[in-house]
């Protein structure tokens, strides 16, 4: 159901908002499928509506999926639904971003510990606040890797639209802009659903950052001209060996960056690192509908009934990743050993 617009607070994009009774309980989502043409909300009054919104990418991006998952469990609890069943439905809505299942699990734990809907809502709010703090820390750590007059290439959308705060890779790029260090943000359009052209360009424009949109297949010539100093991308799941699943089209950028000796940096919160997934090959990659490829904005661009190959994500092997920036420090170089060392250090310091 469409609702009143709620997309901004203190100049920040608010991609998700909890609605209290009497209008709620409900979750208002800024409908990312409609951006940049329209800034409208979808109001989810039950878990089925939320699952549908997750699958249609109304709400998307790994950290925000975790937050939405936690609020979804809070919604089920507030409505006196079957909370465990609802949690399972939400966690399965999309398979690749580990944050979704983690956000759901965290809220479900609050429910099994307390059976109190308010405690579940508090857990969801706490997760969103943690993500905002993680964004700031990632921006700070990431900024240290950005050279002066940087020309940064990014893929998909990783800003405030995917977060309780400023986001991941785009948060670093926009911090570089505020620090006077960004000469140009190259925004991959990100076929087939155009998260770069529609969403990253929208966020960059709002921030007054210098940006240009390019067709994904123009990236090669951009590197060849020497016009890229740094690649910054996010992640949906990082395996124990340092392999990075992210929006399809990320892996070819890593290959190009490697060939042209350009740093390829992944920015992701610790909650995206999944030590239970041993390697890149073990990451489940979501397959999406053929018509996302064979039609553009609802207009067919291939013969009727054409089959299509449409994985939502690809996997970049650790040897192509220069560094992983988390809120708990930078992993560099990236390998099974350095990921394990990062985990040991963070457990020993309790961070």
**Spatial distance between the Cα atoms of 184 and 181, rounded to a whole number of angstroms:** 9
Query: What is the nearest approach in angstroms of ligand MRU to the Cβ of residue 115?
Result: 32
Angle between helices 62-78 and 117-143 (to 10 degrees): 170
Catalytic position from the list 188, 216, 236, 274: 236
Name the site residues for ligand MRU (rule: CB under 6 A): 57, 60-63, 97, 156, 158, 162, 167-168, 195, 234-236, 246-247, 312
Nearest-angstrom CA–CA distance, 293 and 217: 15
Rounded-to-integer distance, Cα 269 and Cα 137, Å = 9
Region of 24 on the Ramachandran plot (φ > 0 left; ψ -120 to 50 alpha; else beta): beta
Q: Which of residues 50 and 110 has its CB atom nearest to ligand MRU in the complex?
A: 50
**62/89 with CB nearer ligand MRU:** 62
Told to judge if 304 belongs to the known catalytic residues of this protein, a careful annotator would answer no
Taking the complex as a whole, the smallest distance from the CB of residue 12 to ligand MRU amounts, in Å, to 16
Q: Taking CB positions, which residue lies at the least distance from ligand MRU?
A: 234
- Nearer to ligand MRU (CB atom), residue 117 or residue 242: 242
Rounded to a whole number of angstroms, the minimum distance from the CB of residue 137 to ligand MRU is: 14
DSSP conformation class of 320: G
Write down the H helix ranges in the chain.
47-55, 62-78, 83-91, 98-114, 117-143, 169-178, 195, 201-206, 219-224, 250-259, 291-294, 336-349
49 or 267, CB closer to ligand MRU?
267
Query: Rounded to the nearest whole angstrom, what is the least distance from the CB of residue 226 to ligand MRU in the complex?
Result: 25
Q: Which is nearer to ligand MRU, 121 or 175 (CB)?
A: 175
Q: Measured from the CB of residue 335, what is the shortest distance to ligand MRU in angstroms?
A: 22
First to last CA, the chain: 40
> CB–CB of 19/27 below 8 Å?
yes
103, 107, 112, 115 alpha-carbon torsion, rounded to 10°: -170
* Cis-peptide, bond into residue 85, ω within 30° of zero: no
Hey, which residues are catalytic here? 236
């Amino acid at each position: 159901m469409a609702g009143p617009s709620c997309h901004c607070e203190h100049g920040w994009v608010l991609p998700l908002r909890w609605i209290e009774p009497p209008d709620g309980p409900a979750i208002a989502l800024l409908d990312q499928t409609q951006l940049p043409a329209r800034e409208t909300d979808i109001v989810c009054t039950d878990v089925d509506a939320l699952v549908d919104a997750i699958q249609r990418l109304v709400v998307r991006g790994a950290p925000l999926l975790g937050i939405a998952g936690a609020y979804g469990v809070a919604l089920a609890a507030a409505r006196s639904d079957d909370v465990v069943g609802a949690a399972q439905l939400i966690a399965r809505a999309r398979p690749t971003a580990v944050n979704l299942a983690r956000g759901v699990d965290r809220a479900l734990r609050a429910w099994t510990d307390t059976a109190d809907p308010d405690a579940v809502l508090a857990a969801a709010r706490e997760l969103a606040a943690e993500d905002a703090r993680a964004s700031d820390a990632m921006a700070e750590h990431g900024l240290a890797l950005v050279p002066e007059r940087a020309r940064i290439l990014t893929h998909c959308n990783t800003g405030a639209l995917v977060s309780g705060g400023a986001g991941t890779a785009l948060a670093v790029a926009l911090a570089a802009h505020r620090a006077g260090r960004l000469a140009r943000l190259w925004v991959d359009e990100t076929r087939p659903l155009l998260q770069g052209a529609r969403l990253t360009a929208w966020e960059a424009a709002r921030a007054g950052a210098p940006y240009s949109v390019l067709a994904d297949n123009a990236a090669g010539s951009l590197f060849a001209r020497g016009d890229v100093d740094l690649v910054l991308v996010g992640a949906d799941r990082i395996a124990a060996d340092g392999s990075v699943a992210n929006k399809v089209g990320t892996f070819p950028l890593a290959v190009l960056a490697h060939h042209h000796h350009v740093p390829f940096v992944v920015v992701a919160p610790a909650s995206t690192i999944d030590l239970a997934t041993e390697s890149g090959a073990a990451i489940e990659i979501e397959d999406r509908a053929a018509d996302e490829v064979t039609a553009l904005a609802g207009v067919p661009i291939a013969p009727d009934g054409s089959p299509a190959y449409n994985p939502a994500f690809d996997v970049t092997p650790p040897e192509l990743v220069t560094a992983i920036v988390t809120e708990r420090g930078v992993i560099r170089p990236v390998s099974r050993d350095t990921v394990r060392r990062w985990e040991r250090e963070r457990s020993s310091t309790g961070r």
